[in-house]
Amino acid sequence: MYTTIKTSQRTFVTDPERWLSQSIYFDNLFSGKWGDKQEDGSYFIETDAHIFEHILRHLRTGVLPVFYDRLAGHDFPLYQALLDESMYFAIDRLQKWLCERKYLDAVKIHYIATETHDREAYRRFTTSTPDGRTFMEEDRFIEITTSSNMETTIVPVTQQRNSFYCPDAKHGKSSEEHCRSCFGRARDDGKIGYGGWRNEDQLKWCIVRKEVVFNHDLCVNAFLGDS
């Protein structure tokens, strides 16, 4: 049977038969022991409507609240206000959730840091992944596609690297072992000093991915087995 609960800011209509056993306060209120029923059949409760909305939502659904924003983090003042009300309304499960700060366990931040290497190694790294992430490099630019629940930060990093170039200008960037025979040809062709080891800048990308992982099962099932 639907019941009207009034506060100074808002009016709520709910079916308390679905959740009465969760709160000693409301068990007594609706039993008639306190005689608080208004002439129109409603009940008036002196409480903040914004906080009471979360109280009623928890009683109705059984889901424990998490107030988290990707940019602002957890809303600790709201947790504190809700804790005060959960103590007033004697809602043990909600009170325990807030006192033990279990909401912190419901939101985990997962960081993945990757540093690109040479182009060939990076090409192997940039294949599509099962979660839909793809990576592509073109010249000195990088493009990344991630899931909507993941933030990506890309920081360019320049490092010094020793690279070997073919002394005969035949193989470009190579290795001493591969170009052993090229030294003689370079000397005969007057290309002394053309190749060999060079100290050059190498552009790398430091890719940091931040993923917010929300544990909905914890919000639904925490403390259900407690007496």
DSSP three-state, residue 88: helix
* Residue 220 φ then ψ, to 5°: -85, -40
Of 108, 65, 75, the C-alpha closest to 214 is 108
On whether the CB atoms of residues 135 and 152 are closer than 8 A, the answer is no
Looking at per-residue confidence, does 153 or 15 come out higher? 15
Q: Output the average pLDDT for the chain.
A: 84
On whether the CB atoms of residues 160 and 223 are closer than 8 A, the answer is no
Q: Sign (positive/negative) of CA torsion 29, 32, 36, 41? A: positive
Q: Which residue ranges form the domains of the chain, and what is each CATH number?
A: 3-101 (3.30.710.10), 110-213 (no CATH)
C-alpha span between 176 and 178 (Å, rounded):
5
Average pLDDT over residues 180-207: 80
Candidate from 92-96, 122-126, 186-190 with smallest mean pLDDT: 122-126
CA 169 to chain CA centroid, nearest Å: 51
* Residue 61 φ then ψ, to 5°: -100, -25
C-alpha span between 121 and 5 (Å, rounded):
65
pTM: 0.69
Candidate from 18-32, 128-142, 148-162, 174-188 with smallest mean pLDDT: 128-142
The predicted pLDDT at position 220 comes to 97
Where does residue 98 rank: exposed (0-12), middle (13-18), buried (19+ CB within 10 A)? buried
C-alpha span between 30 and 18 (Å, rounded):
13
Q: How confident is the model at residue 150 (pLDDT cuts 50, 70, 90)?
A: confident
C-alpha span between 63 and 168 (Å, rounded):
72
- Six token digits for residue 115: 């540093």
Where does residue 91 rank: exposed (0-12), middle (13-18), buried (19+ CB within 10 A)? buried
Where does residue 9 rank: exposed (0-12), middle (13-18), buried (19+ CB within 10 A)? exposed
Q: Scan for tokens 């639907």, then name that residue.
A: 2
Candidate from 100-109, 118-127, 198-207 with smallest mean pLDDT: 118-127
C-alpha span between 200 and 118 (Å, rounded):
13
Q: How confident is the model at residue 122 (pLDDT cuts 50, 70, 90)?
A: very low
On whether the CB atoms of residues 43 and 52 are closer than 8 A, the answer is no
